[in-house]
Structure 1
């Protein structure tokens, strides 16, 4: 996790995780060494010293605390944009009319 650094590209990565849409910002995004994964490094979070705290961003910070690199399955990625400046990382409800997730196998509940 890093504080925003000038002169480095900033990428907005939007992906699906556990039925929610995640939007994170990073300095490095590339095809991972694991087949079918996108590798995201140098995650960026606002390091403001204000009184207003965004609970969604705090949840993301806690979830990715100590993570230097994350691999996101290619079929979970909605889009990756190179942006001019960092925005606020967030988690939102998945809107079914906008994105259809790749079908995932469901566990067989008949097996014990």
Structure 2
């Protein structure tokens, strides 16, 4: 899946969604190592930190796990749909909070440029 740089959906959320899709489709099987952050960043044409944020969320949700010096592995197939654990809801709320904070900063910068108008 191509990442849409112009989408209102954060890049890390798009990367996360695609990794989930790939796991659900069996492209990455449980127990299998996923590509490195660097490889995924190159594949999605995003910064490594963007991929890292997506992977961290999936680790928090129990979908991925990292082994120091070995890589990141699929721990479980993600569950989807309403009431499927709530991890996605928590991640969505946190993502919205980050977006609101970023937008506040942008609005403040624009207001400062325009003399507070």
Whether TM-score is above 0.5 comes out as no
Query: Which structure would you say has the larger RCO, counting Cα contacts within 8 Å and 6 or more residues apart?
Result: 1
Question: Which category of TM-score, normalised to the shorter sequence, fits these structures?
Answer: under 0.3
- Based on CA coordinates, which of the two structures has the bigger radius of gyration? 2
Higher-helix-fraction structure: 2
